[in-house]
Amino acid sequence: MIVSRIFGLAVLSFATLAAAPVVAQDRVVPSSMNQLRLSYAPIVQHVQPAVVNVYAAKIVQNRNPLLDDPIFRRFFGVPGGQQEQMQRSLGSGVLVDSSGLVVTNNHVIEGADQVKVSLSDKREFEAEIVLKDSRTDLAVLRLKGTHEKFPTLDLANSDELQVGDVVLAIGNPFGVGQTVTHGIVSALARTQVGITDYQFFIQTDAAINPGNSGGALVDMQGKLVGLNTAIFSRSGGSQGIGFAIPANMVRVVVASAKSGGKAVRRPWLGARLQAVTPEIAETLGLPRPSGALVTNIAPNSPAAKAGMKVSDLIVSIDGQNVDDPNGFDYRFATRPLGGTAQVDVRRQNVVIKLKVPLEVAPDTGRDEIELKSRSPFQGARVANISPALADELRLDSNVEGVVVTAVADNALASNVGFQKGDIITAVNGKTIAKTSDLEQVTSEPARLWRITIIRGGQRINVTLGG
């Protein structure tokens, strides 16, 4: 079975548009045939105008290596060079601001040279990408050349969802047109999906298929509770297990876009966390393996300021239980900046309440460059490890070295095997503390390159020919 990203869908919960906020006591099982004849049509009619189709296109170079041979070209009479081809992808999105802001999945528009948005009334607009956030797989678009107010969906508090709530999904599966499916919330806080940094998904059995990514998941008041993003499938089609990004995470990304930022502003803890295994739980005397174990704390970070210590076990944040590091990361990242969050930690069998400042990670001194000199690093982008970059790439901020942030396709660095997140600590016996050190070392020709990197916490020594 595989987890596949999908393209666009919406989901609704069971209630009426005029109903008061749903609480546990309001949920009832249908008790008569009349109740079973109730329709979702009023909710669908309210939601449909705010759900859109997103079309993305990018130009790719198709290169046939045989065309590099002049004899081959002359014999077969074909031109040399590369041929361009337009790749297109289809997804869905949701209007979240009347000025024309649309939220969708980042993988729908990733690498796109052109993005268009089609409304439910068949009108089509070109759109610009306002903000992309690969860590959450969310992106925000803005419709171009518009001077009107568009219908929108309000964002619900996704923390109020309960397993068993009825939901509807609206999107454009397989490009057949806007389609509605319904189901229930099958599970909450799914953290083992493995497609984004912040894993805390709503699971639903509402039918979701390719073409639904970025669509709305809404409750019975017509509010957005999630953005559909992936399916668990053997065949690539719907198997009744779909995943949606909670609305509370969508809210953070949309707020950053509205403020004019090019990157998402979210709180930074400044500590590395580890899941609690059954063995660790037994050592700590826990009844079950739960919580997030602190394994590293960055100097001057919010965690350090709050008095957090290595080996502390985080058990809750603002009164909400923490089952694992993914759960804490989501809860912490969706807290509003400013003020503090109360984080309860278990230290030597005593629960201690800590006030953690909600502030962004500093991103000074990154000095990102692309290495162009002839060396194994040619085509790689590297940067100094700032706290913000360490948080983004899940690195220890106190590690010395420079980190690979990107590797160009078909570049020498890619062919050698360098990857995003590799930390380069030494080259040819010289310590690499900042990007200028690596730039200087690679500007000098060498017959052999002796390189030390850290990948996934493991130190690796390699020797490459010049």
Residue-wise pLDDT for 404-451, tens only, equals 999 988 888 888 889 999 999 999 989 999 999 999 999 888 888 999
Question: 388 pLDDT band (50/70/90 cuts)?
Answer: confident
Sign (positive or negative) of CA dihedral 349, 353, 356, 358 = positive
Cβ neighbour number for residue 258 with a 10 Å cutoff: 15
User: Is the whole model's pTM more than 0.75, yes or no?
Assistant: yes
From 118, 158, 213, 301, active-site residue? 213
What is the percent of the chain with per-residue pLDDT over 90, rounded to a whole number?
Answer: 39
Burial 391-412 (b: 16+ CB within 10 A, else e): bbbebebeeebbbbbebeeebb
Cα–Cα distance for residue pair 244/167, rounded to 1 Å: 12
Phi-psi region at 357: left, alpha or beta (left = phi > 0; alpha = psi -120 to 50): beta
Residue 7 pLDDT: 43
Q: How many residues does the chain have?
A: 466
What is the percent of the chain with per-residue pLDDT over 70, rounded to a whole number?
Answer: 84
Stretch among 168-182, 226-240, 266-280, 286-300 having the lowest mean pLDDT = 226-240
Q: Is the pLDDT of residue 239 over 70?
A: no
From 137, 312, 324, 437, active-site residue? 137
Cα–Cα distance for residue pair 377/415, rounded to 1 Å: 10
Q: Is the pLDDT of residue 316 over 90?
A: yes
Between the alpha carbon of residue 322 and those of residues 312, 318, 436, 459, the distances in Å are: 13, 10, 42, 32
Q: Is the pLDDT of residue 30 over 50?
A: yes
Q: 101 vs 21, which has greater pLDDT?
A: 101
Residue 74 pLDDT: 52
Cα–Cα distance for residue pair 264/255, rounded to 1 Å: 8
Is residue 107 among the annotated active site residues? Answer: yes
Contact predicate 90/7, CB 8 Å: yes
Question: 75 pLDDT band (50/70/90 cuts)?
Answer: low
The secondary structure of residue 415, as a DSSP letter, is H
The secondary structure of residue 28, as a DSSP letter, is -
Q: Which helix (DSSP H) or strand (DSSP E) does residue 247 occupy?
A: helix 247-258
Stretch among 144-153, 227-236, 403-412 having the lowest mean pLDDT = 227-236
> In the predicted model, what is the mean pLDDT of residues 163-169?
89
Contact predicate 204/217, CB 8 Å: yes
**What one-letter code names the amino acid at 296?**
N
Burial 356-376 (b: 16+ CB within 10 A, else e): bbbbbbeeeebeebbbeeebb
Q: Where are the alpha helices (DSSP H) in 276-336?
A: 278-284, 302-306, 325-333
Q: Strand pairing partners for 203?
A: 187, 243
Angle formed by the axes of helices 325-333 and 247-258, nearest 10°: 40
Residue-wise pLDDT for 80-91, tens only, equals 555 555 567 788
> In the predicted model, what is the mean pLDDT of residues 160-189?
84
Tell me the pLDDT of the chain averaged across its residues. 83
Question: 2 pLDDT band (50/70/90 cuts)?
Answer: very low
Cβ neighbour number for residue 17 with a 10 Å cutoff: 13
Q: 410 vs 78, which has greater pLDDT?
A: 410
Is residue 259 among the annotated active site residues? Answer: no
Q: Spell out the residues 6+ positions from residue 284 whose beta carbon is closer than 8 angstroms to its own.
A: 276, 313, 346
Stretch among 60-64, 186-190, 311-315 having the lowest mean pLDDT = 60-64
Is residue 137 among the annotated active site residues? Answer: yes
**What one-letter code names the amino acid at 163?**
V
From 13, 89, 107, 256, active-site residue? 107
Cα–Cα distance for residue pair 8/216, rounded to 1 Å: 7
Question: 237 pLDDT band (50/70/90 cuts)?
Answer: low
Residue 22 pLDDT: 46
Burial 318-334 (b: 16+ CB within 10 A, else e): eeeebbbbbbbbbbbbb
Residue 278 pLDDT: 92
> In the predicted model, what is the mean pLDDT of residues 103-111?
89
Residue 77 pLDDT: 54
E-strand ranges in 123-235 read: 124-133, 138-143, 166-171, 179-190, 201-204, 216-218, 224-233
Stretch among 94-98, 218-222, 305-309, 390-394 having the lowest mean pLDDT = 390-394
294-301 contacts at long range (C-beta below 8 A, 24 or more positions apart): 294/345, 295/271, 296/271, 296/272, 296/396, 296/398, 297/270, 297/271, 297/272, 298/270, 298/271, 298/387, 298/390, 298/396, 298/397, 298/398, 299/398, 300/270, 301/268, 301/269, 301/270, 301/271, 301/387, 301/397
Q: Spell out the residues 6+ positions from residue 379 whose beta carbon is closer than 8 angstroms to its own.
A: 370, 371, 372, 407, 408, 411, 412, 413, 414
Question: 112 pLDDT band (50/70/90 cuts)?
Answer: confident
Residue 64 pLDDT: 54
Between the alpha carbon of residue 324 and those of residues 94, 205, 315, the distances in Å are: 30, 24, 9
